[in-house]
Chains A and B, each alone.
Chain A
Amino acid sequence: MAEARTMEESKLKSNNLFLKALTAITSIIFIIILVRVFLLPPASTVKLAVIPDMEYDPAVWGKHYPLEYKSYLKNREMAPSPTGFGGSVKDQKSIKEPEILVNFKGMAFSKDYSEDRGHPYAMDDLKESKRIGAATSGSCMTCKTANLRDIYKDMGWNYAKKPLTELLPMIKHPIVCANCHDPRTMKLRVINPAFIEAMKKRNIDVTKASREDMRSYVCGQCHSEYYFEPETKRVVFPWDKGLNPSDVYAYYREIPFGFDMDWLHPDSQAKMLKAQHPDFELSSGGVHSRSGVACADCHMPYMREGGRKYSSHWVTSPMKHIQASCRTCHTQDEQWLLERVKKTQNHVFELQRIAGRTIAQAHDAIGKAGAASKASNADLNRARELIRNAQWLWDFIAAENSMGFHNPDQTLNTLGQSIDLAHQAITAANRATGAER
């Protein structure tokens, strides 16, 4: 009898305990939900921090803007691009495209032409490049560091003519937060004087630009074609006649500030030009840009962590985060979108190789024609002008960083023209020696 009662009691007790535990767990879950969803929701704004105007250390900025800084640090990652083109691994481009060695013969790009790494490596890559030597001018660091601000403030364009080695001790940081942000407001800004001057010539005041425009200008201040004015070594953007490859070539044909060539090709004896990453120029005519999509929309898409929205500062191929970059607008699945981009880039690479190889043949043909004793000088000079134009168009696309994706139709048109001009150059060279009349 007594035994049965204790059994009953213990059963009741355990039932009680179970109920208590259930109530406790439910209450805890309820409180967690209440706090996280209603009482303390994630912040929807960023609190402005006080950072001194001259502070360029990204780690200091990162203390106040941790999500952005964490994504910036991902720029240190060295990884190939998912499409097989571009990427941030320091590979020599001439391995995949040996015609580079012929087309850039006699100048530094045939010695060292590697794929670029992320922004934190800008100064390291500059110092390590075999293209840099004792004769290198200070203008080369214009786009590599935020310290440019102070250097330009102190000396104006005079820094450009000084030897790079003299400026190196003043440079403490590579491309960091301050290159694009004003620390007092966190608004976007540009610091490259060459870009500001070039935009002024196009009647655009960058201090009055809209936020949406600035989301491309901060990139365009460096991802653009430029040359050094021979006298002062000042950086100049060749945009007076427009941003298309043929517009820029028309500008160079007028020999601005006495700038007639980057180097003389030893085989063809043609006065050659070297194109520099015209990403801003090519993309500005592309369908994405024309539809109002800024560089940052794809390369620095909005991400979320812990419910907080932030702009990714991992500036890389959008193919590494298709969901955030493309699917904001495009509804197709990730694999479909990646295949589309690959298709475009494969088409471009095929024609880029054809153009590059035809130009290499043309250098050889003109070189041989020039060595022949009875060659016609008029035809030879005509051939040299043609190859200069052909190589400019090829190089404009080859030096650009998107393998044509930024503007596929313009790219294929440009490469088509380049191939035709290269063939015309070969024909003119043959005509010079009388091989074709």
Chain B
Amino acid sequence: MIMLLERAVKSSVFKMFILGIIVGLVITIVAVAAYHQSGDARFCGACHSMKPVHQQWSLSNHHQFTCTECHLPVTHIVGKLTYKTRAGINDLIHETARDYPAGIGFSAQGRQIVNGNCLRCHGSTVANTTMAEGGADCLKCHRYLVHGRSQDNGGIKVEKQ
């Protein structure tokens, strides 16, 4: 019996199995860490184009939430990952090309996603009001809630040489 176990441990199939588990674990840990790290506000705010919105967010009364909690769709992990990959590649291209405008606005889909996340927490607040009748856009009135103009750093800093 013990002999059989010894032989099994020594067999290449078993070794491959263990190695597979280890490699799989490492990949999973790295992927999960990368997913969370890249959802962190500090990571988003590291890009030049995102500095103003990061500054506004950090002073808002929603700063306990990270960027992705509002900007990723309310859906299963596959949907989130697909959107995140697509949006991430788009951001990387334009951050590298530096062709983004002075004011970065929403795409139609981006607006829909954020609205969905408003309702994820505040859904019950508006449930019995006309705001829940469909087609409502929270941001039409609450657009400066997180990225407020009043918290903007503003201006162009002149630096002495």
Q: Which residues of A line the B interface, CB within 8 A?
A: 32-33, 36-38, 41-42, 44-50, 185-187, 211, 301-304, 306-307, 309-311, 323-324, 327-329, 331
Residue on A nearest B46 in the bound complex, by CB: A38
The CA of A49 and the CA of B160, in the complex, are separated in Å by 8
Q: For residues 127 through 156 of chain B, which have their beta carbon under 8 Å from a beta carbon of chain A?
A: 140, 143, 149, 155-156
Residues of A within 8 A of B103 (CB): 302, 323-324, 327-328
> Pick the contact of A44 from B105, B140, B157 — CB < 8 Å?
B157
Interface pair A47/B156, CB less than 8 Å apart: no
Given A37-B96, A323-B101, A324-B102, A45 and B158 touching (CB < 8 A)?
yes
Residue on A nearest B49 in the bound complex, by CB: A307
Q: Is there a chain A Cβ closer than 8 Å to B47's Cβ? A: yes
State the Cβ distance, A130 to closest chain B Cβ, in Å: 41
Q: For residues 97 through 131 of chain B, which have their beta carbon under 8 Å from a beta carbon of chain A?
A: 98, 100-103, 105
Interface pair A48/B98, CB less than 8 Å apart: no
Interface pair A309/B102, CB less than 8 Å apart: yes
> Pick the contact of B95 from A37, A301, A328 — CB < 8 Å?
A37
State the Cβ distance, B131 to closest chain A Cβ, in Å: 17
State the Cβ distance, A209 to closest chain B Cβ, in Å: 15
Would you list 10 pairs from A and B whose C-beta atoms are within 8 A, ordered by A residue?
Answer: A37-B47, A42-B98, A45-B157, A48-B159, A49-B161, A302-B103, A304-B100, A307-B49, A311-B156, A331-B143
Interface residues on B, range: 20 to 34
Residue on B nearest A329 in the bound complex, by CB: B149
Interface pair B48/A42, CB less than 8 Å apart: yes
Residues of B within 8 A of A311 (CB): 156
| B contact patch SS | loop
Interface pair B92/A302, CB less than 8 Å apart: no
> Pick the contact of B105 from A36, A302, A327 — CB < 8 Å?
A327
> Pick the contact of B96 from A36, A186, A302 — CB < 8 Å?
A36
State the Cβ distance, B90 to closest chain A Cβ, in Å: 14
Residues of A within 8 A of B149 (CB): 329
Q: Is there a chain A Cβ closer than 8 Å to B51's Cβ? A: yes
Interface pair A301/B102, CB less than 8 Å apart: yes
Query: Which of B48, B101, B159, B160 gathers the greatest number of chain A CB atoms within 10 Å?
Result: B48
Give per-residue flags for B82-102: 1 if the beta carbon is below 8 A from chain A beta carbons, else 0: 000000000010011010111
State the Cβ distance, B139 to closest chain A Cβ, in Å: 8
Query: Which of A38, A44, A46 gathers the greatest number of chain B CB atoms within 10 Å?
Result: A44
> Pick the contact of A47 from B49, B98, B140, B161 — CB < 8 Å?
B161
Given A301-B102, A331-B143, A32 and B51 touching (CB < 8 A)?
no
State the Cβ distance, A99 to closest chain B Cβ, in Å: 42
The CA of A289 and the CA of B100, in the complex, are separated in Å by 29
Query: Which of B46, B96, B140 gathers the greatest number of chain A CB atoms within 10 Å?
Result: B96
State the Cβ distance, B78 to closest chain A Cβ, in Å: 26
> Pick the contact of A186 from B48, B140, B158 — CB < 8 Å?
B158
